[in-house]
Amino acid sequence: MTALKDFQRLECIGIWRATPDAQRRDVIVSLGDATLVIANHKGTALSHWSLPAIERLNPGERPALFRPGPDAVESLEIDDETMIRGIARVHSAIESRRPHPGRLRLSLFAGGAAAVLALAIFWLPGAMTSYTASVIPTAKRVSIGQTMLTNIRRVAGKPCNTPAGQTALERMRRRLLGDVPGRLVVLSSGVAQSKHLPGGIILLNRALIEDYEGPEVAAGYVLIEKLRADRSDPVVELLDFTGLFSALKLLTTGNIAASNLDAYSEDFLTRPDDFVPQDAILAAFKEASVRSSPYAYAVDISGETTIGLIEADPVTPQTAVQVLTDGDWVALQGICGE
């Protein structure tokens, strides 16, 4: 430490205590490049203190009182002005050579900001939509889904609804999906088979209920839509369509422009359904104790394209759990009131 040559061999007398309760001892204090050596009058070292860790306990007072660190029990009194200034200068010089976290953080921040700026055009839209979808509350999802359903009614007409039919529909939803928030909606038109909206709203064409002898086919379509919603967040799909500014508005205000929802609602009905792997389908039917064969034949009456769901049906007629009672199924078949 060439800048501190004046203090490289500095010594003085001091008073040292090994612990707060120990007897005070006269010692010789020697200042080194990075340590302070405390020795008795025979030259035997009693303690070595690291200069960067030394703390002054009474700035501006005399004699100066030091300790070797925040949790240390030792203490040292020095009245020699030259030694006091030497400790201060050496300590300051060592401190100046330490890394400065603030400067490092600033450098990292600047570099990170530049990287983010360079990648923003590719990364930001997807990241923003994903983040927005992850933080909006369930109530807002339900509100968005309900608004979309209102828009869809312009094309599909009023949802089918009779008191007994609606009760049976809710029982089927709870049987298949448990306490997950949402609802099932039966439409006379507008959807070919089934679709799902934000907020756990699943749309079913009335034909899935009226054209089959039992509820297994409709139940299968409900399970498939739940799978699609779990695999691809419907709010993310909405924001991908409406764009980055729509995501920002939803994130900051909790609202999304009505014109954006109108446009997406129209596009939504004609969008192709997302592909769901066969393994995921079979696992969902097994968990729900619903046979996959009725659904497979409803998708393809010949069974050629859905042979895997038929041959690998994870639930037998003996192990299947009833979806609805006969009375509830009759009530559900009359939900459109015609």
Regarding whether 307 and 172 lie in a shared domain, the answer is yes
Q: Report residue 194: phi and psi, to 5°.
A: -150, 155
Question: The domain that contains 78 carries what CATH number?
Answer: 2.30.29.30
Residue 325 lies in a domain: yes
Q: Are residues 89 and 155 in the same domain?
A: no
End-to-end CA distance of the chain: 97
Three-state SS for 9? coil
- Name the strand (E) or helix (H) holding 81: helix 81-97
Q: Has residue 49 been placed in a domain? A: yes
**Whether residue 9 sits in one domain with residue 73:** yes
Total domain count, the chain: 2
Is residue 306 located within the same domain as residue 164?
Answer: yes
| Domain match, 147 and 293 both | yes
With respect to residue 41, please indicate whether it lies within any of the assigned structural domains. yes
Per-residue pLDDT of the chain (338 residues; tens, 9 = 90+): 444 555 556 889 999 898 888 898 999 988 877 788 888 888 888 888 888 888 888 888 889 999 988 888 899 999 988 888 888 887 777 666 666 555 556 656 655 655 544 444 545 667 778 888 888 888 899 999 999 999 998 888 889 999 999 999 999 999 999 988 899 999 998 899 999 999 999 999 999 999 999 999 999 999 999 999 999 999 999 999 988 888 888 888 888 999 999 999 888 888 889 999 999 999 999 999 999 999 999 999 999 999 999 999 999 999 999 999 999 999 999 999 86
The answer on 173 and 313 residing in a single domain is yes
Q: What is the pLDDT of residue 72?
A: 85
* Residue 128 falls inside a structural domain: no
Alpha-carbon distance of 153 to 165, in angstroms, equals 19
Q: What share of the chain is helix, strand, coil (3-state, %, to 5)?
A: 55, 15, 35
pTM above 0.85, yes or no: no
Q: Are 142 and 11 contained in the same domain?
A: no
Q: Does 154 reside within a domain?
A: yes
286-314 b/e (C-beta count within 10 Å ≥ 16 → b): eebebbbbbbbbbbeeeeeebeebbeebb
Q: Are residues 87 and 143 in the same domain?
A: no
CA distance 307 to 309: 5
Domain carrying residue 280: 137-232+274-333
In 3D space, the residue among 63, 65, 11, 62 whose CA is nearest the CA of residue 39 turns out to be 11
What whole-number distance in Å separates Cα of residue 178 and Cα of residue 168? 14
Look at residue 287 in the predicted model and tell me its pLDDT.
96
Whole-number pLDDT of residue 2: 43
Domain match, 145 and 87 both? no
Q: What does the pLDDT read at residue 190?
A: 87
Is residue 246 in a domain?
A: no
User: Would you say residue 319 lies in a domain?
Assistant: yes
| CA 48/CA 29 separation, integer angstroms | 10
DSSP output for 19-45: STTSPPEEEEEEE-SSEEEEE-TTS-E
| Residue 312 CA: distances (Å) to CA of 218, 283, 292, 316, 323 | 20, 11, 9, 10, 20
- Determine, yes or no, domain membership for 177: yes
Domain boundary among 35, 67, 97: 97
Predicted pLDDT of residue 337: 82
